[in-house]
Amino acid sequence: MPHLPDHTTHDPELIAAYAAGDATGPDLALATELVADCTDCAALHRDLRSIATALPELPAPARSRDFRLTPEQAAALAPSGWRGFLAAFASPRFRLAAPLGTGLAAIGLAGLLLGTPGSVLPAGEGSAAGSAAGATPSAPAPEKAEDGSVPTIDAAAPAAGAGLAEAAASQPAAMAPQVVPAASADAFIEPDRASVTETGSGAAEGRSSTTSIEQGPPQGAGEPAGTDLSLDAREGDNAREIAPSDAAVIQPAGSPAIALLGVAALIAGVVLVALRLGAKRLV
Amino acid sequence: MEDVRPSEAVDDPIQRRDLVLLEQARDGNLGAFNSLVECYQDHLFALVARMVPDRDQAADAVQEAFFSAYRNMRSFRGGSVRSWLSRIAINAAMDQQRLKKRRPSQPYPELDDESWQPPAGPQDDPVRTAMHGERSRVLAAALASITPDQRYAIVLFDVEGYDYAEIAELTGVSLGTVKSRIHRGRLALRDRLEDSIGLFRGEDG
């Protein structure tokens, strides 16, 4: 067998890879050539294969002790208390706990967001301000006295105004800004219109009441808005015609029940995921 | 992976037995767990003792492996119980080697005993048998002297029969690194066996 000069330049790891059957492509061709043409490489290749053959024949070392567990060891190893409870969640039967908990938490978060007051929604049923506006038309119009005179505005104002003031006071401070009830702005205008539209014997009274408004002191900031709205309350239907035209108001919405359920679902989902992950870390 | 219940069809009777025992152990039957220990403690000790040349360290690692298996029975995901225990033992051996780095004692004390001979049949040549014994002794000593990473790779591949991918997963390295460790490990063994290499060349010519 020819001896290639400078065997020290031959890569022994290439020969080792070739002996293990891991050489491929150009490495395989080179290794084949080296083993064929270099005596040292051929000897190395042969030794490596002999060693690999001898390794599985190594005798099994004799066991030096008995590794069975005693009851005391088993008791010390078994998780107890909260660890025992947590370890149960590592069982494969709880393999769906983490994805289930994640889904539950997501649903809970959605419910919490939908049910929290302050979310922007179109004006709808059940809104407090809507009920306040609705209170305006629902306030009973003052009845005419036996002599046909209609109670003055001052007499009629407190009853309706008080209710509206209460409604205004009940609005949460954090609400989205409301458009000032249109009726209060129109109160200075509508009475003239209302007095014109009234017919019959009431017209004179309406005019006189309008007059009393006009002559009265200007409405100050301290006066409840309900004072102005009382005129619309006396008009009844007219007020109802006014408010809906300004229907595009931002009103608070929210359902405490949905928010509560959302919080519960979120907490349950987080707890479920935490138990499963904690159990897997424990084991 | 699904939890394999004994009620599910398992072809291998040994695997079926192991799954039944493990299920009973999970239900609190210590005797069932110890039956598993009896089945595999010889195999696990041999595996670990080849990886961790120090006998005392190897025994500690095997004990810790069975402790770990008992604690984590619920984490068994199905498949071969033998493989599951072997993985735990391999991890315990590597941990033991990392934590207690000290001069390894004789890994095969029985090989120093001239009265010890490997099992031989009546038709075996005594000279051949003696040569095998000497070859095993020098090979074991050489294996104990190479680096731990190379030793793990060679024991798992050449002795235990794991493939490259399994060794990569067990040791947490890439496939290329596993191959490199095996190749370099064998080269290192060859260097250490230079004076005794004739014991290995004899049969191959």
Q: What is the pLDDT of residues B34-58, one digit of tens each?
A: 999 999 999 999 999 999 988 899 9
Question: Is residue A112 a contact partner of residue A270, using CB atoms and an 8 Å limit?
Answer: no
Residues making up chain B, counted from first to last? 205
Tell me if chain A has a CB within 8 Å of the CB of B187. Answer: yes
Nearest-neighbour CA in chain B from A37: distance (Å): 19
Nearest-neighbour CA in chain B from A102: distance (Å): 20
Q: Give the model's pLDDT for residue A167.
A: 47
Residues of chain B with pLDDT under 50: 1-7, 105, 107, 113-117, 204-205
Say which of B77, B108, B204 has its CB closest to residue A46: B204
User: How many percent of chain A have pLDDT more than 90?
Assistant: 29
CA A244 to chain centre: 33
Q: Give the model's pLDDT for residue A165.
A: 47
Tell me if chain B has a CB within 8 Å of the CB of A90. Answer: yes
Exposure string over A58-87, b if 16+ CB within 10 A, otherwise e: bbebebeeebbbeeeebeeeebeeeeeebb
State whether B46 and A61 contact (CB < 8 Å): yes
Average of pLDDT values for A1-29? 84
Q: Give the model's pLDDT for residue A98.
A: 87
Q: Does residue A79 register a pLDDT over 90?
A: no
| Candidate from A49-53, A70-74, A215-219 with smallest mean pLDDT | A215-219
Average of pLDDT values for A39-45? 94
Q: Does residue A200 register a pLDDT over 60?
A: no
Size of interface A-B (CB pairs under 8 A): 138
Closest CA to A115 of A12, A239, A253, A2: A253
Q: How far apart are CA A219 and CA A229, in angstroms?
A: 12
- Cα-based distances in Å from B76 to B22, B79, B104, B175: 9, 9, 33, 26
Span B18-34, pLDDT tens digits: 999 999 998 889 999 99
Q: What are phi and psi of A247, to 5 degrees?
A: -75, -20
What is the average pLDDT value for chain A, to the nearest integer? 68
Q: Which residues of A touch B107 (CB under 8 A)?
A: 61
A251 pairs with which residues across the strands? Answer: A121
Higher pLDDT, A253 or B126: B126
Confidence of residue A85 (pLDDT cuts 50, 70, 90): confident
Q: Give the model's pLDDT for residue A64.
A: 84
Question: Is residue A233 a contact partner of residue A160, using CB atoms and an 8 Å limit?
Answer: yes
Question: Is residue A226 a contact partner of residue A68, using CB atoms and an 8 Å limit?
Answer: no
Tell me if chain B has a CB within 8 Å of the CB of A281. Answer: no
Q: How far apart are CA A261 and CA A112, in angstroms?
A: 8
Q: Give the model's pLDDT for residue A8.
A: 78
State whether A57 and B136 contact (CB < 8 Å): yes
| Most confident residue range from A143-152, A226-235, A269-278 | A269-278
Average of pLDDT values for A211-240? 46
* Residue A101, C-beta contacts closer than 8 angstroms, at least 6 positions apart: A268, A269, A270, A271, A272, A273, A274, A276
Q: How far apart are CA A59 and CA B50, in angstroms?
A: 10
- Cα-based distances in Å from B33 to A201, B74, B81, B117: 104, 13, 12, 34
Span A108-129, pLDDT tens digits: 999 988 888 765 555 444 444 4
Q: Does residue A48 register a pLDDT over 90?
A: yes
Q: Which residues 65-104 of chain B have a CB within 8 Å of chain A?
A: 66-67, 70-72, 74-75, 77-78
Q: pTM of the entire structure?
A: 0.58
Tell me if chain B has a CB within 8 Å of the CB of A13. Answer: yes
Q: Give the model's pLDDT for residue A62.
A: 87
Q: Does residue A172 register a pLDDT over 60?
A: no
Closest CA to B15 of B88, B82, B86: B82
Helix, strand, coil share of chain B (percent; to 5):
70, 0, 30
